[in-house]
Structure 1
Amino acid sequence: MKLLLLALAALLLLSQLTPGGTQKCWNLRGRCRHKCSKKERIYVYCTNNKMCCVKPKYQPREKPWSLRGP
């Protein structure tokens, strides 16, 4: 029983130390990373100086220039 509790405590500790949780950005649609994947683009930078990698479908679209008269 003590061995089971020791194993459970070790697994709990390892789950807390494992890096994998990344900070979210851009309305929770992007993730702060050092390098974006091929399917993502940089839109803004995070507060921890990492890039906010966002899929293009979640980025705001640029509006074409409209010709307005003065």
Structure 2
Amino acid sequence: MKLLLLTLATLLLLSQLSPGGTKKCWNLHGKCRQKCFGKERVYVYCTNNKMCCVKPKYQPRENPWKF
């Protein structure tokens, strides 16, 4: 029983410490990263000083009515 409790405690601790996912940004369509991939662009910076990388289909379009 002690071994089972120790194993569960270890797994819980490891799940909290592992760098699993990235933070979401730009209305949950972007991800905070050190470097953007492919055609992703940076529009804002995240609170952790990383770039908010946004995929092309979620990138804002320029205003076609502005001259």
Q: What's the CA shift string for 1:30-68, capped at 9, x where partnerless?
A: 11110112242212211222100110100111133555x
Q: Give me the TM-score of the superposition, normalised by structure 2.
A: 0.82
The 1-side partners of 2:15 and 2:52 are apart by 25
State the structure with more CA Rg. 1
Q: CA RMSD in A?
A: 1.7
> What is the TM-score when the length of structure 1 is the normalising length?
0.79
The residue type equivalent to 1:33 in the other structure is R
Q: Structure 1 CA distance, aligned partners of 2:4 and 2:36? A: 40
Question: Gaps spanning 5+ residues in structure 1: where?
Answer: none
Paired positions, count? 67
